[in-house]
Structures are given as structure tokens and as C-alpha cells.
Amino acid sequence: MKVAVITGSGGLIGSEATAFFADKFDKIIGIDNNLRQYFFGEEASTSGNVNRLKDHYSNYEHHHIDIRDQASLENVFKKYGTDISLIIHTAAQPSHDWAAREPFTDFSINANGTLNMLEFTRMHCPAAVFIFTSTNKVYGDNPNFLPLKEQETRWEIDEKHPYFQRGIDEGMSVDNTKHSLFGASKLAADVMAQEYGKYFQMNVGIFRGGCLTGPRHTGAKLHGFLSYLMKCAVTGKAYSIFGYKGKQVRDNIHSFDLVNMFWHFYQRPTKGEVYNAGGSNHSNCSMMEAIELCRQISGNKIKYHYSEDNRTGDHIWYISDITKFRNHYPEWEFKHDLLSTMGEIFEEMTKRKI
């Protein structure tokens, strides 16, 4: 029997991964205890996604387990052992604003929880492919010291800089920078995942995501940029912009495209390799540009509040250079651009009558 274990299976990437891999594995073990609701409130609950997965995929088996609970977690690994050939670890506390409220909670989930997953993989299914969903926040605020220029609707990097053509690559330093507590806990997990790949020669891949998005994202005020913005467009809620004149730039990758990266890595894994994984120059926008696109797609005027105080450690401009992944897996390609992604988000919210 071929088994895949997916943590955070009710979240955006976890549920997308479940749907993607359901016909490729005999059994999908989903691990999710809906902490997202604790982080961000009822509107961010993953229970709807979990129920959908249970209804649609007969080989999906759900476990309501906290990844910090070593005994319960190890029981899953003991039960399936070497039948497990893939682990996709997406479970996390994902907000750098929220992390400052409860540092112990944030670090224990992001760092200790990841260590639990890696060690139980090593103990019970060491030949399995382990995929860790990291973040661009491991680079801290180093991107903010690039030569940036203000334009009408966005900040942009100087065209003479090496990052202008393709974005920020994996060579950017993770040292001497302000990460946010969230960035620090994810960096600890990121380095640990690299170490298990290199020290123990395990098949581990680390994917440093930009803004991950898609129609199944339960966006909330503190996390889920495009999803929450579209929710504001649909419901009439006011969106909050913090600093940089609303011209801060994010690259956005559809959840399918990221999970498709995982699929390519699974087929030809490496040992502790790091990949930037975002929308790159293919799919990016500033806050103000996203507001205008939401207006065009929804037909509704977007209300927003602006504060001159930027969020601590927030990126002014971040675009991922995905050249390294493309060079390793040249058959992979984007299936979604920014407009099609935002259109899907709108259609899903309209269907669910959010």
C-alpha cells in the first residue's frame, strides 16, 4: 500500500495537496486539528474543507491531531510505517502579527512540530519524500534594503539590479535581519529540514513560498492577502492597509501550481534542497493594484482604511526567482496567472455565498 501523510490537510495547501494526490496514492492520511480557527476566528475555520475532503475522497482518512502531540503523531507513523512514501508538511501558525501575541505557541508549532514530523519520518519511513512548506519570511526584512523606486501604483526594484529580471533567489542572506517571531520559528524549521536532508541523507525538499493563494483559502484579516481582500469586496467589509502607501508588492502562486511543484519533486527528490516558490514575474501585484483588480472582478467598490504605520518586518517588494526549481524540473510550468486565480477566488466565494 502506498500512503501519503499531509499535515494541515484542511488548509489551503493541505486540501489542494489532498485533492491532487488522492488518485496517486492508496490512502491519504490528513492531520489537522483546526488551530486556524483558534488563530483567526470562526471565519478561518478549516472544518468546511475537511468535511469536503471526507465527502469527495474515499481514501482520505482524517486525524484530529496536534503536531505537537508526539504520542498521537507517532502512532500514525507506527501504524503505516514504510508504506508511507510521501509527507507534505503544511501545518503551521502562519501569521507574523499573531506570532508576537503567543511566541511559545508559534515556536512550538512551527519549529518543534516540524522536528516531530522529521524525526518520526526518519524513525519509521526514512526513504519517504518529505516536503516542507517554508516561507519567504526566512529572509527577514533584507528585501527592504534593495534599491527600490516608487512608481504610480507600486514599488519596483531598480532595473540595473540583478533581481530586476527574475526576482529574489535563494542566495539572499537569512542573517542580520528582522524576521518577525514567525519568520524566526519558520527559519528554525527550514534549517532543521535542510539538516535532516543533508545529515541523514533523507529526501527532503524545502519550498519557500511567497503569497500562497487559491479558491479554497479561508482568508482572515491577519493572513491570506488576496482571499481576504476579495472577501471584503464581496461582503462590503473595509480592508486595512498598513504603510508603504499601499504600494507594497507581493508575488502570488495558486495552490495548484505549488502542489504541482511538490509532485515534480516527489518524482525526482533531492537531499535537503531549498527552492523559492512564488508567483515570480508571472503573477504579482501591489496592494493598490489588487484592490483595483478586485473591483473589476467583483463589480464592487472596495472600502479600505490606510495607516502610515507599516507592519514590523513587512516586505516592501518581494518577487520570487524560481529559476532554480525550473532548472531542476524543466517540465513544470504555471497553470494559473493572477487574473485567473482572483477570478476563481471570486467564483468560489459567490458560490458559497460568503
Q: Are 276 and 344 in contact (CB under 8 A)?
A: no
Q: pTM for this one?
A: 0.96
Task: Quote the CA–CA distance of 307 and 233 in Å, as a whole number.
Answer: 19
The stretch 3-26 carries a mean pLDDT of 98
CA–CA distance, 249 with 146 (Å, rounded to integer): 13
pLDDT digit string, tens, across residues 72-120: 999 999 999 999 999 999 999 999 889 999 999 999 999 999 999 999 9
CA–CA distances in Å: residue 348 to residues 234, 266, 289? 11, 29, 21
Task: Write out the DSSP string of 41-79.
Answer: -GGG-SHHHHHHHHHH-TTEEEE---TT-HHHHHHHHHH
Residue 351 has pLDDT above 90, yes or no: no
Predicted local distance difference test score (pLDDT) of residue 123 = 98
Q: How many residues are present in the chain?
A: 354
What 3-state DSSP class applies to 285? strand
**Average confidence score pLDDT of the chain:** 96
Lowest mean pLDDT among 36-50, 113-127, 177-191: 36-50
C-alpha cell at 317: 517588494
pLDDT at 149: 97
The per-residue pLDDT for 308 is 92
Give me the phi and psi of 102, to 5 degrees please: -135, 75
Judged against a pLDDT cut of 80, whether residue 354 lies above it is answered with no
Alpha helices in 127-179 (DSSP H): 163-166
Task: Tell me the CATH number for domain 3-352.
Answer: 3.40.50.720
Q: Is the pLDDT of residue 353 over 80?
A: no
pLDDT in tens, 180-231: 999 999 999 999 999 999 999 999 999 999 899 999 888 777 777 899 999 9
CA distance 37 to 43: 7
Pairing between β-strand 249-254 and β-strand 317-318 as defined by DSSP bridges: parallel
**Residue 145: DSSP 8-state:** G
Region 146-161: mean pLDDT is 98
Q: For residues 302 and 147, which has the higher predicted lDDT (pLDDT)?
A: 147
* pLDDT of the residue at 43: 84
pLDDT interval class at 167 (50, 70, 90): very high
pLDDT at res. 112: 98
The grid coordinates listed for 336 are 494559473
| Residue boundaries of the structural domains of the chain | 3-352
Radius of gyration of the chain (CA): 19
CA distance 40 to 278: 24
| pLDDT, position 242 | 92
Cell of 91: 501545518
CA 291 to centroid of chain Cα atoms: 21
What integer pLDDT is reported at residue 223 of this predicted model?
A: 78
β-pairing, 284-286 vs 304-307, is unpaired
Q: Mean pLDDT, to the nearest integer, of 259-281?
A: 98
Cβ(173)–Cβ(141) below 8 Å: no
Nearest 5°: the CA angle 270, 174, 275 is 25
Q: Span 58-77, mean pLDDT?
A: 98
pLDDT of residue 268: 98
pLDDT of 311 above 90? no
Residue 48 has pLDDT above 90, yes or no: yes
Mean pLDDT for 44-53 is 94
DSSP H or E run through 240: strand 239-242
Band the pLDDT of 313: cuts 50, 70, 90: confident
Nearest to 33 by CA among 57, 53, 50: 50
pLDDT exceeds 90 at position 130: yes
Chain mean position to CA 333 = 18
Whether residue 68 has pLDDT greater than 90: yes
